[in-house]
Amino acid sequence: MKPVPVEVAAGVAADVLGGPVTVEVLKDKPGRRRTMRARGAAGSAIVKCYASDRAGTVAARITALASGPPEPVVPIVLHLDVERRLVILSDVPGTPLGVAVLDGDLDACRAAGAALAAWHGAWAGREARPLRPHGVDRELAALRERGVAGVAPALRRPWSCTTVVHRDLYEDQILIGSGVGLIDLDDTHRGPPELDVGNLAAHLALLDARSGSTAGAAAARAALAGYGDAGGELDAERLAQCQQLSAIRLECIHGISVHPAAGSPPSGLACELMARE
Give the domain CATH number at 61. Answer: 3.30.200.20
Q: Shortest CA distance to 89 belongs to which of 71, 110, 63, 50?
A: 63
Per-residue pLDDT of the chain (277 residues; tens, 9 = 90+): 899 999 999 999 999 999 899 999 999 999 899 999 999 999 999 999 999 999 999 999 999 999 999 999 999 999 999 999 999 999 999 999 999 999 999 999 999 999 999 999 999 999 888 999 999 999 999 999 999 988 899 999 999 999 999 999 999 999 999 999 999 999 999 999 999 999 999 999 999 999 899 999 999 999 999 999 999 999 999 999 999 999 999 999 998 888 655 444 433 333 333 343 3
Q: 100 and 65 in one domain?
A: no
Q: How far apart are CA 15 and CA 176, in angstroms?
A: 30
Count of positions (residues) in the chain:
277
What is the residue range of 68's domain? Answer: 6-90
In a domain, 23, yes or no: yes
Q: Provide the H-helix boundaries in 70-212.
A: 97-103, 106-123, 136-145, 193-211
CB 243, CB 268: distance < 8 Å: no
Look at the chain and report how many structural domains it folds into: 2
| pTM beyond 0.75 | yes
Is 1 inside any structural domain?
no
Task: Give the number of other Cβ atoms within 10 Å of residue 24's Cβ.
Answer: 12
- Of 90, 109, 130, the residue at which a domain comes to its end is 90
Q: 144 and 244, same structural domain?
A: yes
Cα angle value 216/221/223 (rounded, 5°):
90
- Considering the domain architecture, whether residues 20 and 83 belong to the same structural domain is answered as yes
